[in-house]
Amino acid sequence: MIAPQGTSVADPAEAFATDDADQTFIPLSDPDITAAELAAVDAVLRSSRLSAGPVVEKFEAAFAAYLGRRYAVAVPSGTMGLLITLAAYGIGPGDEVIASPYSFRETAHAISLAGAHPVFADVDYWDGTLVPAKTEARITARTRAIVAANTNGHPAAWLALRALATKHRLILIEDSTEAIGSKYQDALVGTFGDTAVFDFSQPSPLTCGEGGMVVTDDIDAVVALRRYRSHRLAERSSVVISATPPYQAGMSDLAAALGLAQLTRLDEILERRRTIENLYYKHVQSFEGIKDPYVAPDVTEVNFLFYLVHLGTRFSKSSRDAIIEDLRVEQVEAAAYCHPLHLQRYYLERGYRRGDFFVTEKIADRAVALPFHTHLPEDQIAFIVSTMKDASINVGAGAAIY
């Protein structure tokens, strides 16, 4: 059944029951899809073009206008968006790029894919974003760029990061793959970097299945981005080899139609997610000493990607994992927010070790991402929170989780 515009396709509240045998599985994310999105995709399916075409161009123009930036380039993922951004700036073997080791989305892998060396810097304990002073300490003669992320929707310290990039003549790339709609000093994220990268895969509030966008105000950068992204339509029937071999990293009109419909409804989707956030906040007050969602002084608005619960130091990584498993047994999908990049095999083989970034490891070992989407009724949220509270007791830490 197709839902009316502005309503969900299915209402999980009707199916939910607290009886273990009948309990509905509660997913970590669930896209907010209405009749508007279904109609947009249907129109493309009935057209003569499914691959990249006029709908992609319309989505690019609308997204650039939303942010107030001059150019937008649609790509198949945030990782590919960062990869072609690095290529556009000529960053590759022999170059260093500073990035955060604390991220759910592994966009930073694009640095290695480009052949450059990822240099990690530690993050702030409260908001999980790069600390400018720690970032500056990692700059060398080979540093070409800083990739700073708006972690779990919380904007980074963009004023200080911009000053740092200007001082050292570095390219500042904004990783906004987790933060669409958040604001720093009243300006939307995606407006602070020389370029900014977005990701539209699930669980993003704006999702088109798989996809992303790179935005910039630099005409030279956008020409290079488009050249590395894919051949232009006019070149596709030609046997002439273009000046730059492209990655063929375009977005389809199908994905763009879904993204464009979601962009039109973005304010509505974000407002509905804020309602869910407030319900979570109401119920987690039963926990002793819970760390409230943090918003830095210069941050105007945060639209979280997940509802994160930060466990106290009495919890180990293994006890955090046990709590997640207990939630899964109760049909609640939860996840460790981040497995630090520097502790993943690829980077361990390049010299990084546990203990290199104390703050990253401390918060990553104790962060639990709970289901967060617009289809969560309050009784499900209450069940999730009470289940997590019981799970914390099961691992021997008592009722308090922070």
pLDDT digits (tens, 9 = 90+) for 183-224: 999 999 999 999 999 999 999 999 998 999 999 999 999 999
Structure-block tokens of residue 80 = 């590919």
Same domain for 75 and 197, yes or no, is yes
Number of domains in the chain: 2
Flag whether 211 is in a domain. yes
| Cα gap 338→75, rounded to integer Å | 24
Same domain for 181 and 55, yes or no, is yes
Decide if 32 contacts 276 (C-beta within 8 A).
no
Q: What is the CATH number of the domain that holds 358?
A: 3.90.1150.10
CA distances in angstroms from 18 to 21, 23, 381, listed in the order given: 9, 6, 12
Q: Which of 237, 241, 243, 239 is nearest to 223 (CA)?
A: 243
Residue 150 has pLDDT above 70, yes or no: yes
More confident residue, 2 or 358: 358
Q: Which pLDDT belongs to residue 238?
A: 56
B/e letters for 331-358, b = 16+ CB within 10 Å, e = fewer, are ebbbbbbbbbbbbeeebeeeebeeebbe
Query: Amino acid identity of 231?
Result: H
Decide if 201 contacts 316 (C-beta within 8 A).
no
Decide if 76 contacts 210 (C-beta within 8 A).
yes
More confident residue, 16 or 367: 367
How confident is the model over 385-396, as a mean pLDDT? 84
Same domain for 252 and 272, yes or no, is no
Residue 26 has pLDDT above 60, yes or no: yes
Q: Are strands 367-370 and 307-310 parallel, antiparallel or unpaired?
A: antiparallel
Domain end residue (candidates: 231, 264, 297): 264
Q: Which pLDDT belongs to residue 3?
A: 41
| Cβ neighbours of residue 101 closer than 8 Å, sequence gap 6 or more | 108, 120, 122, 123, 340, 341, 342, 343, 357, 360
Flag whether 11 is in a domain. no
Question: Domain residues for 234?
Answer: 36-264
Q: For 245-305, where are the alpha helices, taking DSSP H only?
A: 253-264, 266-284
* Confidence tier at 8 by pLDDT (50, 70, 90): very low
Flag whether 132 is in a domain. yes
Flag whether 146 is in a domain. yes
Q: What is the CATH number of the domain that holds 88?
A: 3.40.640.10
Q: Are strands 96-99 and 117-120 parallel, antiparallel or unpaired?
A: parallel
Same domain for 167 and 307, yes or no, is no
Decide if 201 contacts 322 (C-beta within 8 A).
no
Query: Considering Cα of 232, then 237, then 243, then 245, what sign does the dihedral take?
Result: positive
Flag whether 5 is in a domain. no
CA distances in angstroms from 221 to 33, 87, 241, listed in the order given: 34, 10, 21
Domain end residue (candidates: 249, 264, 279): 264
| Cβ neighbours of residue 383 closer than 8 Å, sequence gap 6 or more | 16, 18, 26, 330, 332
How confident is the model over 280-301, as a mean pLDDT? 83
How confident is the model over 171-190, as a mean pLDDT? 97
Q: How far is CA 91 from the centre of its chain?
A: 23
Flag whether 59 is in a domain. yes
For 117, the 3-state DSSP assignment is strand
Q: Which pLDDT belongs to residue 104?
A: 67
Q: What is the pLDDT of residues 51-67, one digit of tens each?
A: 878 899 999 999 999 99
Residue 14 has pLDDT above 50, yes or no: no
pTM: 0.89
Same domain for 224 and 298, yes or no, is no
Same domain for 251 and 276, yes or no, is no
Same domain for 77 and 131, yes or no, is yes
| Cα gap 192→132, rounded to integer Å | 15
Q: Which pLDDT belongs to residue 316?
A: 84
**Please, what is the average pLDDT of the chain?**
88
Residue 92 has pLDDT above 50, yes or no: yes
Same domain for 255 and 331, yes or no, is no
Same domain for 340 and 207, yes or no, is no
- The most confident of 100-109, 171-180, 289-298, by mean pLDDT: 171-180
Residue in the block written with tokens 């993050």: 123
Flag whether 3 is in a domain. no
Same domain for 236 and 280, yes or no, is no
Domain end residue (candidates: 264, 291, 319): 264
Query: Amino acid identity of 47?
Result: S
Residue 398 has pLDDT above 70, yes or no: no
Same domain for 206 and 109, yes or no, is yes
Flag whether 366 is in a domain. yes
More confident residue, 390 or 96: 96
Same domain for 306 and 327, yes or no, is yes
Decide if 269 contacts 249 (C-beta within 8 A).
no
